[in-house]
Structure 1
Amino acid sequence: MKKSIFLLLLCSFSAAFAQNDLLFESASKAYNEGKYQEAIDNYHEILKSGQHSAELYFNLGNSYYKVNKIGPSIYYYEKALLLSPNDDEIINNLAFAQKMTIDAITPMPETAITRIVANLKNILTFDQWAYTAVIFMILFVVLYLAFYFFRFADKKRIAFIVSMVCLFGMVISILFAVFQYRDYTQTQPAIIFATEAAVKEEPNNRSATLFDLHEGSKVYVEEKLNDWNKIRLADGKNGWILANDLRLIKEF
């Protein structure tokens, strides 16, 4: 009985993946033929099945860019970048899309050290840094055992030095994994989807409008209250905006 249920589930998953592959091929063909809305519809059908990937989000970003929907385009490029942070093609296309936005948001200045650490930390995602730490740990153990069992001084010295390098690499990888995980869980980036959205001083329509944001701008959600989100910009400005005017990037 259990074997039959397992086989049934396996067949269902296989059929779902096959269907998604057909949809992906159809979407890619529609895109190449200039049928961008058809491609968008097919990609969204794949998302509805629960399957997602950097390639899927990247293709969705490209399709929306072709129909001049900058907000969704940037949104899906950003989602693709979360899954593949070092993909040059995603980074370049995102930069092109961001040039189409209206709002000029200048990030707050960073020190050189902070910028270098951030660039190093963002080379990998937090789970990739965790895997790297495990690899360094295994190498450290193997090399330390080699140091213990080697007879000749030269080999013992080399094994010891390389094991210490691996130990250092493991510690750095763990720190970067922790920092990346903290950043991932404590920040909620979002993209403005409304053509124009008023940022209010308080979470109600009667309060004063501090400034306006436009489609495609990136913000960070700090607090939620009923139908309102308190947002912060990269330049330090903050205020309240209607939740329906934006979409969270980390919603999968």
Structure 2
Amino acid sequence: MKVLANIFVFVFCLFGFTQNNQLFEEGNALYNQEKYSEAIEKYKAILNSGEHSADLYFNLGNAHYRLNNIAPSIYNYEKALQLAPHDEDIKNNLSFAQNMTIDAISDVPKVGFSRIFNNVVNMASRDSWAIIAIVGVVLFVLLFLLYHFSYSTSRKRFAFVTSILSLLIGCMALALAFQKEQLQKKDNPAIVFVQESRVMTDPNKSSEEVFRLHEGTKVQVLESYNDWKKIQISDNSSGWISAQDIKLLNIF
């Protein structure tokens, strides 16, 4: 029975993949015919089935961009970039879409050690740093054994020095892996999806307005309270916005 169940699951997944591939091709054909709204429906049907890919979000972003749907185009390009962070086509199209936004928010640049440290942390993913840490520790053990069992003075010296270096690299990589994980946990971006949204000092409509944001602007969600989200923009200004006015990027 277990074998039959596994076969059924495999056939079901294969059927779903084939169906989604057909929908994707149909969506692309509609896009090439400039039927962007119909193409969007095809792409959304694939998303509703639970399949996610950079190409799917990229094409969805392109279709929304053609219809001048600012927030959905930016949102889908950002989703595509999450799945393919080094894709230049996605980055370029995202820049074009961001040029349509109203809000001109200046980034607060990181300087000094903070900038250097963040650049080092972001050189690799959490898993990559973890793998480097494991390799460093394994090398340390092997080199330490070589040091312990070697009779040659020069070989013992070489094994000792390189084992210490391997251990230091492993420890540094482990620390960077933890730091990368912390940064990922804090990274909770969202896109403003309404034409204009009021950002308040407190999570209620009667509080004082701090500033206003417009569709397509990217924000960082810091915390939640009832139907409100505390957000921060790239110039470090913060406030509370209605949860209905934004759409989180980290939810698939």
- State the TM-score bracket (shorter-chain normalisation): 0.7 to 0.9
Matching residue of 1:228: 228
Matching residue of 1:3: 3
* Distance in 2 of aligned mates of 1:239 and 1:66: 32
Matching residue of 2:61: 61
How far did 1:159 drift?
6.1
What are the residue-to-residue correspondences of 1:33-182 with 2, within 5 Å?
Answer: 33-141=33-141, 165-182=165-182
Call closer, same or farther: CA 1:33–1:151 in 2, change over 3 Å: farther
TM-score, length-normalised on structure 2?
0.85
The Cα RMSD (Å) is: 2.6
How far did 1:62 drift?
2.3
Does residue 1:240 correspond to 2:228, yes or no?
A: no
* Distance in 2 of aligned mates of 1:160 and 1:19: 59
Q: Once the two structures are superposed, what CA deviation does each residue of 1:59-84 show, in whole Å capped at 9, x if it has no partner? A: 22222222211211221222222233
Contact residue 230 and residue 240 of structure 1 kept, 8 A = yes
Call closer, same or farther: CA 1:11–1:109 in 2, change over 3 Å: same
Q: Once the two structures are superposed, what CA deviation does each residue of 1:72-104 show, in whole Å capped at 9, x if it has no partner? A: 122122222223333333222222222221111
* Distance in 1 of aligned mates of 2:151 and 2:45: 63
How far did 1:150 drift?
7.0
Stretch of structure 1 that moved more, 145-154 or 107-116? 145-154
Contact residue 24 and residue 46 of structure 1 kept, 8 A = yes
Stretch of structure 1 that moved more, 7-16 or 174-183? 174-183
* Distance in 2 of aligned mates of 1:34 and 1:156: 71
* Distance in 1 of aligned mates of 2:217 and 2:18: 37
How far did 1:202 drift?
2.3
**Structure 1 alignment gaps of length 5 or more:** none
Local SS of the residue matching 1:123: coil
Count of residue correspondences? 252
Local SS of the residue matching 2:105: coil
Stretch of structure 1 that moved more, 128-137 or 143-152? 143-152
Matching residue of 1:249: 249
Stretch of structure 1 that moved more, 2-11 or 171-180? 171-180
TM-score, length-normalised on structure 1?
0.85
How far did 1:194 drift?
0.5
Partner letter of residue 239 of structure 1? G
**Structure 2 alignment gaps of length 5 or more:** none
